[in-house]
Amino acid sequence: MIGKLRGIVDSFGTDFIILDVNGVGYQVHCSARTLSALPSPGQAATLSIETYVREDQIKLFGFASDAEREWFKLLQTVQGVGAKVSLSVLSTLTPSELATAIAMRDKASVSRSPGVGAKVAERIVTELKDKVPAFADIDPGAVHLAGALDDKRAPRPVMDAVSALVNLGYGQPQAAAAIAAASRHAGEDADVATLIRQGLKELAK
């Protein structure tokens, strides 16, 4: 199996490049994000490769990083998600943004990807929430709160405070993160007004 290719960019297609490796032109399908990051024809490029072998074809998928390739494979463990949808998601969200969206149960961000409807986005954030790699810089308290909000297990003042920030125009993930931080500073017994005030301070940082 081909795991990596290093060569000269020959030409670009709508969703692929031709990479010249020692005189052999490989057609490599990429996300829009990866394509936009590649150099101009005639310049050197390196891609992490996922090789698909079917009865009637061999298809190469290329990625700017090993992390993007792992996400490509992980997304396809979700029911109804194939290579095309995986590339669409990775064209819209970076691996870090995707990890954040899944950790925060942010279905809206995932569904911004072309071809990804609400049901598929729901399955992605639900089925991958325990499989994703470490969530990097995501606040564990915000992740926990996002899950509690989803299951309606969060304390009423916290739920009301998050709802208030959402009504002010903030996204649910940002509101949840801000109120999670506010709750830590203000204490578990803080009232709605205190949480909102502290949450707005967090968002202003």
Three-class SS state of 156: helix
pLDDT tens for 67-87 read 889 899 999 999 989 999 999
Give the per-residue pLDDT at 143.
Answer: 55
For residue 191, give both structure tokens: 């009232």
For residue 203, give both structure tokens: 């968002």
Candidates 144, 89, 151; CA nearest to 120 is 89
Domains (range + CATH), the chain: 4-63 (2.40.50.140), 66-127 (1.10.150.20), 140-204 (no CATH)
In this prediction the pTM is 0.68
pLDDT of 203 over the 70 cut: yes
pLDDT category at 159 given cuts 50, 70, 90 is: confident
The rounded distance, in Å, linking the Cα atoms of 14 and 162 is: 42
Task: Report whether 202 contacts 194 (CB < 8 A).
Answer: no
pLDDT tens for 31-74 read 999 999 999 999 999 999 999 988 888 999 999 988 889 899 99
pLDDT of 165 over the 90 cut: no
